């Protein structure tokens, strides 16, 4: 499961669809509707929110908005909770790690998308505020 801290606009179409599906899975985990993935490290930051289910709903809304901007139709009825703006932080080190990870994926999967984003300054998903620091402890490098 990869719930990108990067802004969804950096992802290629396959990455955006995968993010939608993985965030929907995370939503099911946070709602207690699955036995698997309950201790997945990517969920730590959502569990630290005042409303974990509202936080993942807000995350999903941003992903859906990016999909809509591209002309895709992600089903909003799959978002199970009312979005709650739960601003979370992401470190500069985590963003840099994800940026390099994404570029390696795009090198193989979608070189055109890589050329489009290569020189754009890194931005975080709208739910995250960027703070100085190293890669997050929960990240599996």
Q: Output the pLDDT for position 38.
A: 81
> Torsions phi, psi of 65, nearest 5?
-65, -40
Rounded to an integer, the average pLDDT of 79-102 is 93
> Could you tell me what percent of the chain has a pLDDT over 70?
100
pTM of the model: 0.93
When mean pLDDT is compared across 60-64, 66-70, 79-83, the lowest value belongs to 79-83
State the residue for tokens 């799959």: 78
User: Could you tell me if 1 and 40 are in contact, meaning their C-beta atoms sit under 8 angstroms apart?
Assistant: yes
Q: How confident is the model at residue 103 (pLDDT cuts 50, 70, 90)?
A: very high
Give me the pLDDT at residue 74, please: 96
Output 40 or 134, whichever has higher pLDDT.
134
CA distance 104 to 125: 19
Helix (H, G, I), strand (E, B) or coil at 119: coil
Residue 1: pLDDT over 80: no
The average pLDDT across 53-64 equals 96
């Amino acid at each position: 499961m990869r719930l990108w801290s990067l802004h969804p606009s950096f992802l290629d179409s396959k990455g955006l669809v995968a993010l939608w599906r993985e965030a929907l899975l995370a939503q099911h985990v946070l709602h207690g509707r699955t036995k698997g993935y309950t201790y997945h490290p990517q969920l730590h930051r959502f569990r630290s929110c005042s409303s974990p289910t509202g936080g993942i709903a807000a995350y999903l809304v941003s992903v859906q908005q990016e999909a809509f901007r591209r002309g895709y139709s992600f089903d909003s009825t799959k978002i199970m909770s009312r979005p709650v703006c739960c601003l979370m932080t992401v470190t500069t080190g985590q963003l840099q790690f994800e940026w390099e990870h994404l570029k390696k994926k795009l090198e193989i999967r979608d070189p055109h998308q890589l050329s489009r984003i290569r020189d754009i300054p890194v931005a975080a998903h709208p739910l995250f505020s960027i703070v100085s620091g190293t890669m997050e402890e929960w990240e599996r490098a």
